[in-house]
Amino acid sequence: MDGAAALPVIWSILPDARLVGGAVRDLLAGRITADFDLATAVPPQAILDRLRERGIKVVPTGLAHGTVTAVVKGRPYEITTLRRDVETDGRHAVVAWTDDWREDAARRDFTINAMSFGRDGVLWDYFGGENDLRAGKVRFVGTARQRIEEDGLRILRFFRFQARYGTGVPDPEAVEAIANTTARLSILSAERVWSELRRLLDVPDPIDAVRLMQRLGVLDAVLPGADVGRLAGLLKLAAPTDPLLRLAALARGPSARVAERFRLSTADAQKLDALRSGRCPVPGLDDDALRRLLADEAADRLVERSWLTQIDSPVTANEWDILRHRLRMMLRPVFPLSGRDAVKIGLVPGPMVGAILRDVGDWWRAGGCLADRAACLAQLARVAAERSGN
């Protein structure tokens, strides 16, 4: 069941509800959308009550801000009560409920995000969002500086939307407001900064937006010393669209410091470090050398790292493509022995077993990781005998 199929169920309960935000923008732009967020004038508790009366699972995910999540056949739908800002502190807002759709739209960031669709298919567009979307113009609702002062995260959101939807010269008012409010970035949490930067780096071609960030001082505020040239080089190679791969090209300095700056998850921090360290295959290596690399790391990681090495390589793109194809086609070799095999031939468990297995492993790698289990067992016996003096 796709996301749109459940909308009639929700509209039968909340007939005044409208699609809002990204779903409207993407539908108008002809883009595939998976998330369908809705807004309604119905107060949050009444939304909960109505949905539950109809047997629909509902989770009060952001009740203080008027948002609940209805789960229809396993798919979540965020439903938010219309709001107006009572007070803002540059990142968070105290809100009150309203039944005024225009007032709710006026508190949104960009005109292309302030539109709504009713159940009858009518588009409600109070600030010219549809025209801006068609013109490739990312424009703040109302006064750009005021919107940014309400929430500094909107600075980073501007570049993400500019990269995905913007064409031509960026909105001058937005550019001027951002240049004069970069200090607002200092109050943002590391997690939110990375969330926005990650989504920007996930855009097919973010380079113009990143260069604009650099020109306005935003990039240096969130990632000092960033190497935009290496990111541009990576993009020219048509490397996979992977935010962490792009961050590995863009960031300078130790990976641990970058991970700490953005408070990356353990998995992301480990991947970033692996991308920026370790051995990298290069065109011209023979099969034995590639198998030795594959014995230690999966082909996918070696392939990812190869893109970063290729940025500054004089070798042709075709040779790099051949190398990556060879890596993907090779079976990953697995050293066929373990500590049990050493114990079975009479070795006493302890440090000596590990040392002998490492010697055998080095011998196996030196031979291109081709020796089978029988050959490795024979080598194990020889090394054990040499170690014991027999």
pLDDT at 388: 76
Task: Measure the CA dihedral 376/380/381/382, to 10°.
Answer: 100
CB-CB neighbours of 244 under 10 Å: 17
CB-CB neighbours of 307 under 10 Å: 23
CA distance 149 to 159: 16
Cα torsion 236, 238, 241, 246: sign: negative
pLDDT in tens, 73-84: 888 999 999 998
- On the question of pLDDT at 2 being above 70, the answer is no
**Higher per-residue confidence, 72 vs 234:** 234
pLDDT in tens, 176-204: 999 999 999 999 999 999 999 999 999 99
Cα torsion 198, 202, 203, 205: sign: positive
CA distance 228 to 219: 10
pLDDT at 1: 41
CA distance 280 to 303: 8
Q: Residue 189: exposed, middle, or buried by beta-carbon count in 10 A (0-12, 13-18, 19+)?
A: exposed
Q: Are 331 and 370 contacting, i.e. CB atoms less than 8 angstroms apart?
A: no
Q: What is the mean pLDDT of residues 19-33?
A: 89
Architecture of domain 1-135: 2-Layer Sandwich (3.30)
Secondary structure (DSSP) of 222-251 = HSTT--HHHHHHHHHTT----HHHHHHHH-
Single pTM value for the model: 0.89
CB-CB neighbours of 234 under 10 Å: 22
pLDDT in tens, 348-386: 899 999 999 999 999 999 999 999 999 999 999 999 998
Collapsing DSSP states into helix, strand and coil, what is residue 263?
Answer: coil
Residue 5: pLDDT band by 50, 70, 90 thresholds? confident
Bridge partners for 298 per DSSP? none
Q: Are 81 and 96 contacting, i.e. CB atoms less than 8 angstroms apart?
A: no
Report domain extents, the chain.
Answer: 1-135, 278-329, 339-388
pLDDT in tens, 304-326: 999 999 999 999 999 999 999 99
- On the question of pLDDT at 152 being above 90, the answer is yes
pLDDT at 390: 57
CA distance 113 to 105: 8
Pick left, alpha or beta for residue 246 (phi over 0 → left; psi -120 to 50 → alpha; otherwise beta). Answer: alpha
Choice among 27-31, 153-157, 211-215, 265-269 with the minimum mean pLDDT: 27-31
Give percent of the chain above pLDDT 70.
97
Collapsing DSSP states into helix, strand and coil, what is residue 126?
Answer: coil
